[in-house]
Structure 1
Amino acid sequence: MKELIEKVTLLQQILIARATHRHEESDASEFLRLRNEVISEQNLKKYIPSILKTSRTLDQYWEKIKQKFEHYAERRNYIYIEFHPLLEYLENSDSVPSDQIIANVIKNLDSSYIHTTWSKALERRTVDPEGAITIARTLLESTCKHILDEATVTYGDAPDLNHLYRLTAKQLNLSPSQHTQPVFKQILGGCTSVVEGLGALRNKISDAHGQGKLNVKPSSRHAELAVNLAGTMAVFLFSTWELRNESIVES
Structure 2
Amino acid sequence: MREVIPQTIISLVGDMISNRETHASLNSLFLYAGAPGEPPEGNKQVKAISWIQRVNQDLTVNPLEVLGKLLEKYMEEILDENKSWEKDRIVENKKIIAAMEKYGLHYLQGGLVVTGAHTPSKSLEDYIKENNLEYFDFEFNRALKNVDTSPREAISAASNMLETICKVYIEVNKLEMPAKQDLRPVWNIVKKDLGFDASKVEDGDLQKILTGLFSIVEGIGELRTHASSAHGMGKTVYRIEPRHARLAIHSAHTASLFLLETWKKRKTSF
Fold agreement, TM-score > 0.5: yes
Partner of 1:14: 16
Partner of 1:181: 202
Partner of 1:23: none
Counterpart pick for 1:113 among 135, 146, 150? 135
Q: Which structure carries more relative contact order (alpha carbon 8 Å, separation 6+)?
A: 1
Counterpart pick for 1:206 among 228, 242, 248? 228
1-structure distance, mates of 2:242, 2:162:
19
Specify the code of the residue in structure 2 equivalent to 1:122: L
Specify the code of the residue in structure 2 equivalent to 1:13: D
Higher helix share: 1
1-structure distance, mates of 2:151, 2:181:
25
Residue deviations 1:225-250, cap 9 Å, x none? 1111011100000011111135x99x
Counterpart pick for 2:145 among 123, 148, 153? 123
Specify the code of the residue in structure 1 equivalent to 2:189: L
State the superposition RMSD in angstroms: 3.7
Partner of 1:98: 120
Matches within 5 A, 1:214-233: 214-233=236-255
> What residue ranges of structure 2 are gaps of 5+ in the alignment?
1-6, 33-38, 57-62, 69-99, 106-114
Counterpart pick for 1:148 among 170, 181, 189? 170
Identity within the alignment, %: 25
Taking a change above 3 Å as real, the CA distance of residues 79 and 212 of structure 1, as seen in their structure-2 partners, is same
How far residue 76 of structure 1 moved from its aligned partner, in angstroms, is: 5.1
Aligned length: 206
> What residue ranges of structure 1 are gaps of 5+ in the alignment?
19-26, 32-48, 56-67
Counterpart pick for 1:52 among 29, 51, 54? 29
Taking a change above 3 Å as real, the CA distance of residues 182 and 216 of structure 1, as seen in their structure-2 partners, is same
- Residue 171 in structure 1 maps to residue 193 in structure 2: yes
Q: Which is further off, 228-237 or 158-167?
A: 158-167
Specify the code of the residue in structure 2 equivalent to 1:75: K
Larger Rg: 1
Structure 1 outlier segments of 4+, above 6 Å: 5-8, 87-90
How far residue 111 of structure 1 moved from its aligned partner, in angstroms, is: 3.8
How far residue 70 of structure 1 moved from its aligned partner, in angstroms, is: 6.0
SS at match of 2:147: helix
